[in-house]
Each structure stands twice: as structure tokens, then as C-alpha cells.
Amino acid sequence: MIYTSSYYSPVGKILIASKNNRLIGLWIEGQKNFPQNLKEKVQNKDSEEILVKTKKWLEKYFNKEKPEITELKLEPIGGEFRKRVWKILCEIPYGKVITYGEIARRVARETNKKSMSAQAIGGAVGHNPISIIIPCHRVVGSNGNLTGYAGGIDKKIKLLELEGVNINNFHLPK
């Protein structure tokens, strides 16, 4: 059984999902890859422990308190490659960004490959099922583009500004 609850945030309505008291999803309403068809029975349950904890985490986050990812039990659903990329995302500190290329080079090193496609990294980042908490909004293009956020560039900008990133150092994709 998958339990869900909604949270109303400064970037819009958020759907939170859990299974076995672990967080499996967090999506901003209308974002790309928004869960249209979860494969199991879904029930709204605002009292589910992990969903309550996630809402408290989000409250702290939007109050600029910088909660730790480790405060929540996460279980994003995906393959080994995507999980490797999502683990790297979890290591990006508040107020910092990393490029798709930097992640690609790191994954290549970790997997003993000569190189890794930044586009493959972009695919994994774009399918992050626990947005905001697994901070995919902290990934930017190597040329300074604020590109590739499933929730929308406007929301990516709001999240980065909330975390203290100087947006003037970046530009919108053309």
C-alpha cells in the first residue's frame, strides 16, 4: 500500500508518497514525471509517520533552517544507475550547485569507465522521484544554464534563491 499526503509550499502544492514507512516520492504539482499511475493501491493518510516527518522537514526547509536529508528514511524507486546519481545529489550542500558534467565525471570514476554522458546524468536527475529533498534543483548546465528541472525553471530559481545561491551567476536556457 502506498500512502500519500499533500503539503502546500511556497513553490506550490506538493504530493508526498510513502511505502513501508519510507519516503518514496515527493512531487510538485504539475511537474514532469508527476505520478499519474502509481502501480499499487494508493490511499491518502495524513497521519502516516514518515509523511508527518516529511511535512515537518519541508516546513523547516522553507523556513531556511537547512534540515538534514538523513532526518528522513528515503527509498526512491529506480535502478542502480539512477540511485548512484541520486546519492551524489544528496551530497550537494545547501547554497552550492554542481554541473551535469561534474556528476558524469564522478560516476565514470566510481564505475571505472573512461567517460560518462552528461545527458545520461540529466536523465537520472530528471527522474528523481523525491524532488527538493534529493536536491536535483542544485544541478546546472556547465555553461551556467539553469536548465533541466522537472518542476519548472521558475521553481528551480525559487529553491536556489531560498538556499542563498546567487542566481545572477546563471542564465536561463535559450
3-state secondary structure 91-118: CCCCCCCEEHHHHHHHHHHHCCCCCCCH
CA–CA gap between residue 170 and residue 98 (Å, rounded): 12
Catalytic residues, by residue number, are 136
